[in-house]
Structure 1
């Protein structure tokens, strides 16, 4: 095995964006969360997951969801920036979790009432992952 391969195996994962921690702190301030770092991370992560799911679900011609997203981005710009951040890829996390649950359901579409519960579960799963990421110190 050559030296070049050893170097590749020893590479670390890519560093997080330097501004991510600042955005999380600012977003917690925007939504008025007080308390521990974990409480702030949990609240911001949940809101980011909800916004990412809304983007994923907005596939129709109805302008109301798009207008709601614009309203959110004006009211809480740091939260909207986190939800749309390509380095974070919250939409990709939501999509992957939704696909995983769809496959676990035998690739069967859910009834509208069950879809709301499934969406809630997707948001909670993604929010848990984001909470861990947001509460960890940035290196």
Structure 2
């Protein structure tokens, strides 16, 4: 009980302790939020598939690209194989950004990405068109050109 009387006698001390506790809790919450794995994109929409494609390209992650593909077994077609070949180059960096909203027509959609590819000190901007298709209740990447 004596600590309670001490805090009542010194209101600034109580306020200081309260502020310190709030700051510590806020710091812990922020750290947990920053260290947590980012949520997987929502592939139930064409926008989500376009975003996931951009993440896969920026992260140079061919496996992630295959998981959002409509037909992963047939992913190594002409254009898709060249995309995977670029992703596997160790000295290539890719920044992908969605360019507008996908155009949806029935069970198909077209989305656009703007890529900035850096290779051997040079940078090139490359527009990419994504062909998307409805798969069950979600969408998938049919092709990219």
TM norm structure 1:
0.25
Q: Which has the higher contact order (CA 8 A, sep 6+)?
A: 1
Q: Which has the larger radius of gyration?
A: 2
Higher helix proportion, which one? Answer: 1
